Amino acid sequence: MTESTTESSLRVVLADDAVLLREGVRSLLEDEGISVVASVGDGTELLAAVEALRPNLAIVDVRMPPTHTTEGLQAALAIKHRFPDIGVLVLSQYVLREYATELLSTESVGVGYLLKNRVTDIDRFLESVNRIAEGGTVIDPEVVRQLLSTSEKQNTLSSLTPRESEVLEAMAEGLSNRGISERLYVSISAVEKAISAIFDKLDLHAGETRSRRVAAVLAYLDKS
């Protein structure tokens, strides 16, 4: 893990109004050789920093001053709109499906939505950071779980086996087949089989790229 992160020369802008947490994430990233080029406390400063520094990735808290509602999310959407190449990872205190879908329905390239406490699983957090910076999509497993549990989809989705649900979740997180096989300790061919079973059951046709897979799954899950 460590080699892969040191060779990446990621430049990150951090935005969170909770200073302790911001500094925690900053040192966590710097431990791993990722350079944090700016860390700011609100949406306006964030946009200014992104404009000036053009980082690879912006990590943004949803709630920030002045109104402590969705400034961070708005700023994230603005970044995505103006600089589609810059990855945006939104960290949130709670799962709000609307936030996730609003974010993912933009361009769906290089975006992520994670719960704040995922930060403490450092390996997975760094994996997500790198994936988003490379243009991938990362959705918090909790969001996927919530999307899965909405009643309308219950019927189709209850036909998924537990293993297939796990695979779907990992797919939504943007993992490749190999990533999934490593995460779940199964062979790649087992993953491929599970995925084609999922696409069959959900009546979807498998796409080629990772983000299209995620987008397809999400599009299906969000259809109400």
- Compare residues 70 and 137 and give the one whose CB is closer to another protein: 70
Retrieve residue 86's tokens. Answer: 């810059």
**CA proximity to 76, closest of 98, 59, 93:** 59
- Compare residues 115 and 190 and give the one whose CB is closer to another protein: 115
Give residue 96's identity as a one-letter amino acid code: L
* 28 is a contact residue toward another protein (CB under 8 A): yes
Cα separation, 31 vs 1, whole angstroms: 13
Question: Minimum Å distance from CB 116 to another protein?
Answer: 5
Retrieve residue 81's tokens. Answer: 């709109």
Question: Minimum Å distance from CB 120 to another protein?
Answer: 4
Question: What x-and-dash track marks residues 87-126 binding another protein by CB under 8 A?
Answer: ------x----------------------xx-xxxx----
Binds another protein by CB under 8 A, chosen from 13, 14, 25, 129: 25
Dihedral angle sign, alpha carbons of residues 29, 30, 31, 34: positive
* 17 is a contact residue toward another protein (CB under 8 A): yes
Segment lying near another protein (by CB under 8 A), choices 5-13, 14-22, 79-87, 208-216: 14-22
* 69 is a contact residue toward another protein (CB under 8 A): no
Question: Minimum Å distance from CB 155 to another protein?
Answer: 36
Q: How far is CA 143 from CA 16, 95, 96, 123, in A?
A: 21, 6, 7, 20
**CA proximity to 56, closest of 105, 100, 122, 112:** 112
Question: Minimum Å distance from CB 19 to another protein?
Answer: 9
Size of the site for another protein (CB under 8 A): 19
Beta-carbon-side half-sphere exposure of residue 16 (alpha carbons within 13 Å): 20
Q: Are 104 and 137 in contact (CB under 8 A)?
A: yes
Cα separation, 158 vs 222, whole angstroms: 16
Residue 137 bridge partners (DSSP): 111
Segment lying near another protein (by CB under 8 A), choices 6-14, 19-27, 157-165, 196-204: 19-27
Residues within the interface to another protein (CB under 8 A): 17-18, 20-21, 23-25, 27-28, 31, 63, 68, 93, 116-117, 119-122
